[in-house]
Copies of this chain bind each other. A is one copy, B any other.
C-alpha cells in the first residue's frame, strides 16, 4: 500500500450554471483532482465529496515536501480500501468552499469575482444548496465521459452530498459510503449551524458582508471556527491533548480573568491556523447550504455503507441509525461501521482507516 503520488489540481469550468433557486451564474469554476486511472469503458469512477471545512484534497500530496497528505489518504491509494490500482477517484471543491484563500482551492462563491461587475459578489451571490454542489459535480463527471459512478463517498457534508446524489440521480449511483452523516436535516443541526455562523456577523469588520479590499473579519471567523472545532471533537481529545493545565504556568487561570487554560488556547490555535484561508461570507453561504439540506432517504435506491462515530456531536448516532433504517426499509442493503477514537465526529477523518476493510468489501460486492 502506498500513496497516490503527486497530485495536480485541475479546474472545471461551466460557462453558465442555473442554481436550484433559479439564479444564473456565469463562469462557475471548481477545483478537482483525481487518483488512479479511468478505465476504457469508464465504469470504475468513484466520486469523493468533502466535509464542511475541507477541500478536494482527499489523497496524495501536491509536492513531496507537503507535511501531510490529503484527508482520507488512509483509505485512498494503491492497495488501499479505495484502491487506485482499480478505481479512478475524482474529488472536487464545492461551491462556496470555506477555504477561498487556499491557493490549492478553486471555488465559486461570494468571495469570487462577479464577471458582470469585476468585483467580489459578496452578499449579491445567490443562495446555493447541496443539490447545486451535486449538479456541478454531475457536470464535471459527465465532462469526463462518466455516466455512472461505481460509488460516492464522503464524510459529514460529504455524506450529505452522497445522500443527495443517490436520491436525485439514482441511475448514476451504484452505491454510497456516507461517513459520519445522516440524511434528515434535523432542526437541531439547523440551529447549531446558525450558532457556528453568528460570531462572523458580530464582528464589526464583517460590515454586512462588504469587507473586500479592506481588513477581513478574522476575529469572527476564528471564533466561528472554534465552535466548529469543538462540536467536531469530543471530550477524550481535550483530555488527552491538554488536560486541565494552564496555558502559561506563570499565569494560572484562577489568578486573573484573562489567564486561560491550555485547552482554550489550543482550540483557539487550531481555529486560527485555519482562519487565514477562510472567507467569512463563504462560511455563511456554506452554513446556509447545510441548513437547507434534507434528503428523503427513502428515495435512495442503492446499497449504502455508513461508518459513524457513536459519540458524534454533529450527527448523533441516533440520526445515522435512523437514516440506515430508512434506506434498508426502502429495500437496499445497508451496513454500518463504528469508528472509535477520541475525536467524536472527526473520527470520520482521523480514524477512517478502521472502516478500510468494510469499504474494500463493500466496493467489491
Contact = CB atoms under 8 A, between A and B. Distances in A.
A227 interface: yes
Interface stretch (A283-291, A297-305, A332-340, A345-353): A283-291
Contact of A191 (B230, B254, B255): B230
A279 to B, nearest CB: 14
A358 interface: no
A294 to B, nearest CB: 7
A141 to B, nearest CB: 25
Given A190-B263, A202-B219, A244-B294, A257 B238 contact: no
A188 B223 CA distance: 16
Contact of A264 (B191, B199, B203): B191
A7 interface: no
A206 to B, nearest CB: 10
A261 B187 contact: yes
Q: Classify the interface of chain A: helix, strand, loop or mixed.
A: helix
Contacts of A291: 253, 261
A127 interface: yes
Contacts of A219: 202
Interface string A112-155: 00000000000100010100000000000000000000000000
A288 to B, nearest CB: 6
9 contacts: A123-B257, A186-B239, A187-B242, A190-B264, A191-B230, A198-B226, A202-B223, A253-B288, A253-B292
